Amino acid sequence: MTEKILILDFGSQYTQLIARRIRELNVYSEIVPYNKVPELDDTIKAVILSGSPFSVREDRALHPNLEPLIGKRPVLGICYGAQYIAQHFGGRVERSVTREYGKANLGKIHQSEGLFAGLETGSQVWMSHGDTIKAIPDTFELLASTADVEVAAFGSKPGAFAEPVFCIQFHPEVYHSLDGKQLLENFVINVAGCSGNWTPAHFVDETVAALREKIGEDRVLLGLSGGVDSSVAAMLLNKAIGDRLFCFFIDNGLLRKDEFEEVLRSYDGMGLNVKGIDAKDEFYGALAGISDPEKKRKAIGKTFIDVFDREAKKLTNIKYLAQGTIYPDVIESVSVHGPSVTIKSHHNVGGLPEKMGLKIVEPLRFLFKDEVRRVGTQMGMADHLIKRHPFPGPGLAIRILGDITPEKVDILQKADKIYIDKMREYGLYDQVWQAGTILLPVQSVGVMGDERTYEQAVALRAVTSTDGMTAEWSHLPYDFLAAVSSGIINNVKGINRVVYDISTKPPATIEWE
């Protein structure tokens, strides 16, 4: 039975960070919308209320039901959560007169035990709120202050509730709060009494046991992409049900150069039951003449489903379809704001369960990307699979701006291979979250020898990130970029110009389409 910390989401940009910081303490955390709190069972050891872009003073303020929580489990309110608890129990919340955003220091710690054990006076914290708590409820006491914020933290008086309630106006989950991890550890381990045993090894053992119980003697089909998520999902399922797992790896003609053969060899070495399917011509046919990014995605998705379903019909007694869904996908689908506005259609196996009449199994649905990698390492997966950069489901189709032809794919594959090979040669590959080459729909004048050329340009993209939700462009060395540019222009016929993309996400996205 996995113990957990429940996090109520009020729409803060930092909510996922809270979950990640808790998990770094080897304690499982789960995010739920503030208005969809499950019944508290023995696995839930404490509850955290997140921040929010809303104000408790507004008509549109989000109103959680605190009755099932306060006194039932230890509670920590952060920012909006703290302000809501203060107001709910008779405190006073007002619009901030002074600026309460950015770095601050705990000038006074009134209680150096409990939540603040191990924190020193002067500890740097991060403020980010437009309201401030001017008066705390009678059943609470002041715990910490900054120079500008008298009520930086407060907590319930001993005996006020059956379980303690702590409230803080700063964000311990962000790196700018230098002792934030210690504060969260105090709450999760010392106050809530969590054991901190949620490790990759524990996850593997627990998940394999759960998969065996759920699947029984049935058979499972999984579509592999060559990426980390589907590969780790396959390993977990293989541990659980062995050769009753069947895997398809479809070559859509939009993979990196030689990737189909290389990945198949990798899977063979892992003992997986994988069938490689060459469907390049079908995908090229479906994409012919299409330039719109969304239409390209939909054409790829439909063709994938058609090929997958056709091949699946050659198997018998398949009851489950496995997917490599990870936790950010789950969080987004149950967001406090509802499902996010569609920025782009994701090429997955969407539509397959309904078409094929299969039940879904998602071994990774509660893991972040970095946790997926740690689980893969725990199971002994090779580094070249674990550390692979994320690769878009539609593949090179969204890195070729405009329509898709086999000739364009060939040009891009060659250029991209030079880029990635050089990145490994220079020891940069593992320092980058994701890298790729984009074939631009423009031609530019160049000179090669004594001849003028009028050929295509490519853009190089490389970003650093933790989970892809935000990303910073990678500051790659000039000598490396020069070597890549020279290698591409000299060796790939049809390209005479190379540029480097220095856009962050947001406002740009990692991919160009």
Give me the active site residues, please: 79, 171, 173
Handedness of CA 235, 236, 241, 245 (dihedral sign): negative
- Comparing CA positions, the residue from 263, 342, 246 lying closest to residue 297 is 342
Residues 136, 154: contact at Cβ < 8 Å?
A: yes
Residues 194, 5: contact at Cβ < 8 Å?
A: yes
- CA dihedral defined by 318, 238, 223, 251, rounded to 10 degrees? -120
| Crossing angle between the packed helical segments 280-287 and 293-312, to the nearest 10 degrees | 150
Residues 134, 95: contact at Cβ < 8 Å?
A: no
The amino acid occupying position 186 is: N
* Enclosing H/E stretch for 119: none
| Crossing angle between the packed helical segments 369-378 and 228-241, to the nearest 10 degrees | 40
What tokens were used for 155? 């907590």
β-strands 92-95, 131-135 pairing: antiparallel
What SS3 state is found at 244?
A: helix
Question: DSSP letter at 351?
Answer: T
Residues in the chain: 513
| Crossing angle between the packed helical segments 200-215 and 228-241, to the nearest 10 degrees | 60
The amino acid occupying position 177 is: S
